[in-house]
Amino acid sequence: MDLRAELLKSIWYAFTALDVEKSGKVSKSQLKVLSHNLYTVLCIPHDPVALEEHFRDDDDGPVSSQGYMPYLNKYILDKVEEGAFVKENFDELCWTLTAKKNYKPDRNGNSVVSHQDAFKLWCLFNFLSEDKYPLVMVPDEVEYLLKKICTAMNVELNSCELDDYLSQEPQGQGGLTVWQFLDMVNSGRFLRGIEQEAVSMAVEEGYLWKKGQLRRNWSERWFMLKPSVLSYYMSEERKEKKGSIALDKHCCVEVLPDRDGKRCMFCVKTLSRTYEMSASDTRQRQEWTLAIQTAIRLQAEGKKSLHKDLKQKRREQREQREQRKAAKEEETQRLKQLQEEKERKLQELELLKEAQRQAEILLQEEEQRRRQQHEEMQRTLEIQLREAEQARASMQAEMVLKEAEAERQRKRILELEDMQERLQEALQQEVKARQDEEAVRYAQARLLAEEEEKLKQLMKLKEEQEEYIIKTQREKQVLKQEMENKNKCLEEAQKQLEEVRVNRQRVDQDVMVAQRKLRQASTNVKHWNVQMNRLMHPIGPGDKRTNVSGGVFAGYQPLLSRRDSSLK
């Protein structure tokens, strides 16, 4: 069922509510107001002047539903965009129009269902009702919905009492209308001993405790699950939205052990964050985890709603049951006709036998009186007997054929029953295979999450390695620069060493020259000393002169010795 069909169901209730006289027509002024409200709740831009012009009062009178459909399809339904409006506001508009006229709860306040819960049951009824007008819900869907509500309230539905009620309640078009359904729920016949708050909790979403991301404290939030998002609000009025969790094929749900004083914990893991939550009991946690896993699986399979698939499957099963029932009734009818034909043939055979007996009696009674006509009468009777035998033989052959046909039909019925058992076994195997597939998908999702975490760690190590390589390259460049500077200093030191070597060689040459000069000077000094000694000895004939001469040259000897030492 697409979005257009869902919207048309609610609009049909609004249109019939405006039909006060039940003539199938609504005035143009009322349709103008209805169209304006539909434009508003569906968030469709429109021209008020064109709306006034289209629904201008004239002599045509009220408009039927068929006359309103072209405008509804062209200017409203064709322009609706899924996700651009809040469907709950749209349903609430249509419910307000139709409930004011048709919904009649107990005036004493003894109704089991509140007005808000009646609105939600009305929405569920529209979803499960048949796609034909007037809208009704078949008994199988009524039982399915009541079982879901009773399961949510942890009570057991009395199926026998429900069957009695459905058999006694007049059903139009093969099912219950929404108002009959609401009256049945409000009567408390199937929800005996249940308070109004329990019904509210059965049809609404629910409270869960959620752990904060920054402050890491626990807060109670009202959660609402949709096929692609899990939203949470401050309270059940849903006025202040605190956040939402986008559900896709990369998400997964895990059960957590009790800690931090919280029990029945579980978490929803996304690519960017892990949300920790706590339920009131184990059953509620199991329901939430299963519902969220189902939503994630539907997103991975590209489906929008599990309930639509289940509804379609239930409808197909009902059609198959009806077809099997019709085939069985047809087979029963054929067997009944065959039995009647057989009884008729037996009656004819009995009549023939009775006629034969009467003929024999008449023959015996008139034997003496019709002695003369005995032979002719005998021939006539023999002919009749032969014809009767032939008719009897033909009837017996036909009875054999009919019995063979009946035996074939019985075998066919047994084959159909065997086929039904095999189909049920195949269905159970398919359900088991789906459960195994869900378990494998869950394990695969968990492995993918672990692999993604390891990939993140590998990327982090790779980034650290790249940073270390860049740092090493920078240090290598610094060392290279320092090496070049040291090489330059080494070259300069080598140059200075060469200069020192050259200077040393030059100094060594100067020293050798000085040594040569010193040796020459020493030689000269020795020569002069010898000459001086020679000159000093001949001049000394007397003591006085000798003393004088010795005193004069005695002052020169230390000077000469110091000169020799300095030259050395």
pLDDT of residue 76: 87
Q: What is the pLDDT of residues 410-448, one digit of tens each?
A: 998 998 988 888 888 888 888 888 888 888 889 888 888
The span from the CA of 9 to the CA of 459, in Å, is 54
The two structure tokens encoding residue 282: 């184990």
**3 state SS of 255:** strand
Side chain identity at residue 559, one-letter code? L
pLDDT of residue 171: 56
pLDDT of residue 6: 83
Lowest mean pLDDT among 82-96, 470-484, 532-546: 532-546
Q: What is the pTM of this model?
A: 0.47
The span from the CA of 332 to the CA of 340, in Å, is 12
3-state SS, 211-252, equals ECCCCCCEEEEEEEECCCEEEEECCCCCCCEEEEEECCCCCE
For the residues 221-237, what does the mean pLDDT come to?
Answer: 85
For the residues 473-496, what does the mean pLDDT come to?
Answer: 89
For the residues 341-351, what does the mean pLDDT come to?
Answer: 90
DSSP assignment of 309-343: HHHHHHHHHHHHHHHHHHHHHHHHHHHHHHHHHHH
Strand positions, DSSP E, 31-173: 63-64
pLDDT of residue 254: 93
From the centroid of its chain, how far is CA 264?
22
How would residue 308 be classed by pLDDT, with cut points 50, 70 and 90? Answer: low
pLDDT of residue 278: 93
Q: What is the pLDDT of residues 279-291, one digit of tens each?
A: 988 888 888 888 8
Q: What is the pLDDT of residues 371-405, one digit of tens each?
A: 887 788 788 888 988 898 898 898 888 899 999 98
DSSP assignment of 397-415: HHHHHHHHHHHHHHHHHHH
Given a contact cutoff of 8 angstroms between Cβ atoms, the answer to whether 385 and 356 are in contact is: yes
State the chain's mean pLDDT as an integer. Answer: 80
For the residues 529-547, what does the mean pLDDT come to?
Answer: 63
Q: Is 107's pLDDT higher than 90?
A: no
The H or E element that residue 256 is part of is strand 252-256
Domain map of the chain by residue range? 2-187, 205-304
Q: Is 557's pLDDT higher than 80?
A: no
Q: Which CATH architecture has domain 205-304?
A: Roll (2.30)
Return the percentage of the chain with pLDDT > 70, whole number: 82
For the residues 50-70, what does the mean pLDDT come to?
Answer: 77
Q: What is the pLDDT of residues 120-159, one digit of tens each?
A: 888 888 877 777 788 887 777 777 777 777 766 666 666 6
